[in-house]
Amino acid sequence: MASIVPAEPPKRLERIGAHTHIRGLGLDEKGRALKIADGMVGQTEAREAAGFIVRLIKEGKMAGRAVLLVGPPGTGKTAIAVAIARELGPDVPFMILSGSEVYSTEMKKTEVLMQAMRKAIGIRLREWRKVYEGVVTNIDYELASSPYNPYQKVPRAAKITLKTTKEERTFRVGTEIAEQLLMRGVEIGDVIWIDAETGRVTKIGKAESPSGVKVEEYDITASKKVPIPGGEILKEKEFVYTMTLHDLDEYYTRRGGIIELFFGRVEREISPEVRQEVDEQVKRWINEGKGEIIPGVLFIDDVHMLDIESLSFLSRAIESEFSPIIILATNRGITRIRGTDIESPHGLPLDLLDRLLIIPTREYTEDEIKEILRIRAKEEKVNLSEEALRRLTEIGAKTSLRYASQLITPAAIRARSMNRDQVSKEDIEYVEKLFFDVKQSVEYVRQYEERFLR
């Protein structure tokens, strides 16, 4: 006998990063740091100093300067850099680069840095285009195995329903648009634009009191409230979108290439002539009133890993015409400048240090660790009991905040396997035994030192 089984709704694919909970610096109207705000906890002096950096940037007085964040590992240097970018606006490009990434066998070190800088400089273009506009009332992703990792699911297509005050329509979109919807965090209740020609997705904000749409309401939210669009879904209107100078560099490089015509794009360095052509085109757009430059943020972590050539390039780049806001970070004290025999503070030459506004970070207190872990658990949608949170706080204070944060999700998986919705202290202690912290790993290596390969 034939049976009918109800189909389960597709699970939404979510990507939670280490700093997705950061919304800003958490300052009041006078620039003073609140104890807990915008996903930030503690680091009062560093956040207030970063607030002055944001004011300097908005007033156009950061020319010839950069920022250096110094402090022990796990003290929120990356979080402060992300918060600065959030304070500057939603369209501000934010590029993260590790100091070790410049050592590529395919490109020069200065080319890697140049590309990173141009990825951190945006241009906002305005033109009239046909777009699909509406509030999202339903969105379902069709997932498939990634061609690079069969255990990872990626969006293959999506079915999205848009609604205006006049009509409601459902569309089936392909992989490129589905990936954009996922990357931009589009969810039910969001007002979006989809370009009819290019498929580019723009997230406008949250709809104000959308009728017939179930949206979780919050007393305080970082999302901008916008009215429900009127008229038809497909319409012609002024389309405002942002791209980076590196996007334009790649587009101009691909034009007319016979090798790329048959074999696709070949990874290579971009010539100075192409960049000059792009810069001239950008200047024309600005003079015609079609575009405006958006200086973004280039965050270089472990800057002490850069050698003297790369650091010299950065010193010159800080004073260039098209330069992003450069934020550096390091956890080193007095150390050798790579490529030389000279020791210097933070492994940086003195002429570069003179151009930097240095912001120190300090280690978190136990109460601050507890609040950060509470925020991370909420961001990862993990229900922690008070005992579990206290145990995690003890672990974070004894070992490191990062290690304690990494135990949250494994503990949640263990709780679900035991048919429980709340993570208990026993779940934390169970996964703590399975995963070593740094000190335990060192002790283990010392214990079996003779058996390890050298």
Residue 105: predicted pLDDT: 65
Residue 161: predicted pLDDT: 92
| Residue given tokens 């004894």 in the structure block | 398
Query: Which domains are assigned to the chain?
Result: 36-120+296-360 (3.40.50.300), 125-244 (2.40.50.360), 366-443 (1.10.8.60)
Q: What percent of the chain has pLDDT over 90?
A: 10
What token pair was written down for 439? 């000190």
pLDDT(256) > 60:
no
At residue 214, what are phi and psi to the nearest 5 degrees? Answer: -85, 110
DSSP code string of 248-281: HHHHHHHTT-HHHHHH-PPP-PPPHHHHHHHHHH
Q: Which residue has the higher pLDDT, 37 or 397?
A: 397
Residues forming beta bridges with residue 201, ordered by sequence position: 194
50-75 tens-digit pLDDT = 888 888 888 878 878 889 999 888 88
Helix (H) / strand (E) element for 98: namely strand 94-98
Quickly list H helices, 133-267.
Answer: 175-183, 245-254, 258-263
207-244 tens-digit pLDDT = 876 555 555 555 455 567 888 888 888 888 776 778 88
DSSP 76: S
**Quick check: helix, strand or coil at residue 395?**
helix
Q: At CB < 8 A and 24+ separation, what contacts does 239-242 make?
A: 239/126, 239/127, 239/128, 239/129, 239/131, 239/193, 239/195, 239/202, 240/124, 240/125, 240/126, 240/202, 241/124, 241/125, 241/195, 241/200, 241/202, 242/91, 242/93, 242/122, 242/123, 242/124, 242/125, 242/294
